[in-house]
Structure 1
Amino acid sequence: MISGHFTKAYFNSTSGRNELLRLSAGGVQKNLKGSSVKSLKFPLPTLPEQQKIATFLTAVDGRLAGLRRQLELLGAYKRGVMQRVFSGESVGEWERVTIDEVYGFFSTNSLSRAQLNYEAGDRKNIHYGDIHTKFSHHLNASRTEIPFINNEVIAKGAAYKQTVRVGDVLLADASEDVSDIGKATEVVDAGTVPLYAGLHTIHGRPKPNKIALGYSSLLLQSPQFRKQVSKIAQGAKVLGISPTSIKRIKLPLPSLPEQRRIATFLRALDDRIALVERQLAGVEAFKRGLLQGMFV
């Protein structure tokens, strides 16, 4: 006899999937015939051992489902908090300000990926593609892989503009997807190597006594900011925004003490979400390794 749960575990393993792929016929569109599956051979322990394995894997799957549910609930809770906070209805003194009133902007360079490397250099450069795909809402340059500028580019005396500092914000000014246009990161650690804002980025710096550290990342991912960015984005296949266009965006802004309280609370929530994401990734890796080791 054979346990159905054990069979499922085998076919979800790397070995099981490879065997099914080997038996499949066709080109791009693979077909698997019942007669081929019947000839498939795989390791089969005793039924009690199968049941033990199936019980353990069921428990692992339950843990995965629980973590995914936690992430779903935490994400929904954060979205709700963000919506309430940035509606301007929170307790405290709020004012409506334009982006231009709280941020100053600098020119950025246009160095391409071909002019950057990940091995060595005296200066680092932020490419907009990394804002889209790699950076979180808080950028810690000491812990994040950021490319160096090639030495020959530096030797030619290219203009590098203003260095990036703690508290600065960097926005991607181009994207094919309206949900990604204007995606931003706030620098919480600029690292030890001079850092510059590069191709298709907008480099902003909070004006004195306007924005608490940690609040910019919240402000620039708020539903109100995202909605207004989507309205000003221009282009057909590739959408674009500029510092001039975002300067006119208006948003509710609380006092500095209130900003700090909000930033602290939401940063703790982000940390909780990140912890659950790491736990989920760990359990998924554990299950993959378990299945791989079981059916070698």
Structure 2
Amino acid sequence: MNKKNEKSLVPKLRFSEFRDTGEWEVKPLGEAGKNLDSKRVPITEKDRIKGDIPYYGASGVIDYVKDFIFDEELLCISEDGANLVVRTYPIAFSIAGKAWVNNHVHVLKFEYAFTQVIVENYLNAINLEDYLTGMAQPKLNRAKLDIIPIPLPSLHEQQKIADCLSSLDELITAETQKLEAYKDHKKWLMQQLFPAEGETVPGLRFPEFRDAGEWEVKKLIDVADKKTKWSFIGGPFGSNLKSSDYVADGIRIIQLQNIGDAEFFDDYKIFTSEEKADELLANNIYPGEIILSKMGDPVGRACLIPYKHARYVMCSDGIRLVVDEKAYSKYFIYTLINSIQFRALVEKTATGSTRKRIGIDDLKNLPMVVPKPEEQQKIADCLSSLDELITAEIQKLEAYKTHKKGLMQGLFPSTDEVSV
């Protein structure tokens, strides 16, 4: 290792017993671990014999096959794909036991398990764009992989850091599993609490409503508040919003990418001026209201508008729904729209082969079955309580991930000032 300046390779955070143990060493990844790429064997989908052995690609498990080529603890690192840049999921992941690995993922073996933990976490935390080739399809080839500098302390310190990170990963995994359990339970409840297609009575009903009779068939437009202007309306045509209408800050525009499946995605942010928003007043939407998608996957998905701004402007593929809350529970209607039963009806009505789309007239006339307001509210209270648990788990999970990110920044020194 050659130093470019006098800055020492020491992390900001260090366990007390290692504070006087000196600098870390930097090794190229090709020396830190043994590369087993030559043992990889790709199998085309038509040639795979189905079994229970995981078949790994750049994104993790992509299939299951009958045979295996590895049976040990290894580190896999994505060789190609957009994820090397966007990092939607980890680019480095550990595997253990019988496995088959294709040629889209590098395979490394380490002498010590704790070194593998260190390298895995470090690679997932740093930017690797300087080591990538290709524009349309980013690629991390073997030559570039081998020269990635990996900072490593003594074996004893590696063990301590690996134990710390592994404990935190166990918490993250446990919270992720709990979150998925809550989501699965909600999915099951929604299947039971809403009548199946063609039925007017749900499979599961609260005791006080078991003799309340059948639910009533309504159209989606029937639940809209007739006293509110533009209570069921689509967004403006794209020609109403030109590039010159976008500003750095102002009235937020809700894009199709923001409309998640019962979730608002806050990542995509564009704005227009107040003057333009006033001009498109019929296409404004407000906090707490329901917005549906006219296209995408899944088509007809809906989310609630957040309370971050006083008002928003919808994109052309959004539909504003203001529920008549004197006759209907807004949360019940919102949940019903996102139910498997209603979503299947939307899917059946939508047109298009590659990307489904549904017109506002078709959507507003779709039938839905609803009970009396008291039963609506009971179901809404049940599901909203579960949503609160899910939200709490999401926040806890994000807190753990943020804590780990901060730990990584402190536990690992920067290699910017060194070369290998």
TM range (shorter): 0.7 to 0.9
Once the two structures are superposed, what CA deviation does each residue of 1:265-294 show, in whole Å capped at 9, x if it has no partner?
A: 211211211211122222223223323322
User: Bigger radius of gyration, 1 or 2?
Assistant: 2
- 1:204 aligned to 296, 300, 321, which one? 321
- Aligned equivalent of 2:249, options 96, 119, 131: 119
Q: Match for residue 85 of structure 2? A: none
Determine whether 1:81 maps to 2:210: no
Taking the aligned partners of 2:219 and 2:364, their CA distance within structure 1 comes to 6
Give the structure 2 partner of residue 276 of structure 1.
393
Query: Cα gap change, 1:275/1:5 in structure 2, threshold over 3 Å: closer, same or farther?
Result: farther
Which among 116, 140, 157 is matched to residue 30 of structure 1?
140
Q: What aligned pairs does 1:12-51 form with structure 2 within 5 A after superposition?
A: 12-14=120-122, 29-32=139-142, 42-45=151-154, 47=156, 49-51=157-159
Q: Assess if the C-alpha contact under 8 Å between 1:170 and 1:184 holds in 2.
A: yes
Alignment of 1:153-172 (within 5 A): 153=276, 158-161=279-282, 163-164=284-285, 168-172=289-293
Change (3 A) 1:31 1:204: closer
Residue 106, structure 1, aligned to residue 233, structure 2: yes
Counterpart in the other structure of 1:9: 117
- Tell me how far 1:256 sits from its aligned partner: 1.2
Q: Write the distance in 1 (CA, Å) between the matches of 2:142 and 2:267.
A: 44
Q: Distance in 1 between matches of 2:371 and 2:301?
A: 22
Superposed CA offset, 1:201-258 (max 9, x none): 2223334633113222201101111000001111244432122212332222122122
Q: Unpaired segments of 5 or more residues in structure 1?
A: none
Contact 2:133 2:139 in 1 (8 A): yes
Matches within 5 A, 1:184-263: 184-187=302-305, 192-193=310-311, 195-207=312-324, 209-263=326-380
1:174 maps onto 2:295 in alignment: yes
Q: Distance in 1 between matches of 2:160 and 2:122?
A: 20
Q: What is the CA distance between 1:12 and its match in structure 2?
A: 1.9
Counterpart CA distance in 2 for 1:174 and 1:207 is 25
The residue matched to 1:199 in structure 2 has which SS?
A: coil
Contact kept in structure 1, 2:125 and 2:405, CA below 8 Å = no
User: What is the alpha-carbon distance in structure 2 between the residues aligned to residue 204 and residue 16 of structure 1?
Assistant: 41
Contact 1:131 1:183 in 2 (8 A): yes
AA in 2 matched with 1:249:
L
Bigger mean CA deviation after superposition, 159-168 or 247-256: 159-168
CA contact 1:182–1:241 (8 Å) conserved in 2: yes
3-state SS of the aligned residue for 2:140?
A: coil
Rounded Cα–Cα distance in structure 2 between residues aligned with 1:288 and 1:129: 26
- Report deviation, 1:198: 4.0
* 1:46-85 superposed matches below 5 A: 47=156, 49-85=157-193
Percent of aligned pairs with the same amino acid: 22
Greater share of helix residues, 1 or 2? 1
Q: After the TM superposition, which of the residue ranges 255-264 and 49-58 deviates more from structure 2? A: 49-58
Q: Check 1:42–1:84 CA distance in 2 against 1; reply closer, same or farther (3 A cut).
A: same
Per the alignment, do residues 117 and 82 of structure 1 end up closer, same or farther by CA in structure 2, a change over 3 Å counting?
farther
Q: Secondary structure at the match of 1:284?
A: helix
Aligned residues: 278
Match of 1:136 among 255, 258, 263: 263
Amino acid at match of 1:172: S
> Which amino acid counterpart does residue 169 of structure 1 have in structure 2?
I
**Alignment of 1:286 onto 2:403:** yes
1:283 partner letter:
Y
- In structure 2, the gaps of 5 or more residues are 1-109, 196-200, 227-231, 414-420
The structural deviation recorded for 1:74 is 0.8
The answer as to whether partners of 2:247 and 2:273 remain within 8 angstroms in 1 is: yes
Distance 1:32 1:25, change over 3 A: farther
TM-score (norm: length of structure 2): 0.56
Q: Secondary structure at the match of 2:182?
A: helix
- The alignment partner of 2:365 has SS state of coil
CA distance 1:113–1:271, change in 2 (3 Å): farther
Whole-angstrom CA distance in 1 between matches of 2:133 and 2:271: 46
Q: Secondary structure at the match of 2:322?
A: strand
AA paired with 2:319?
Answer: I
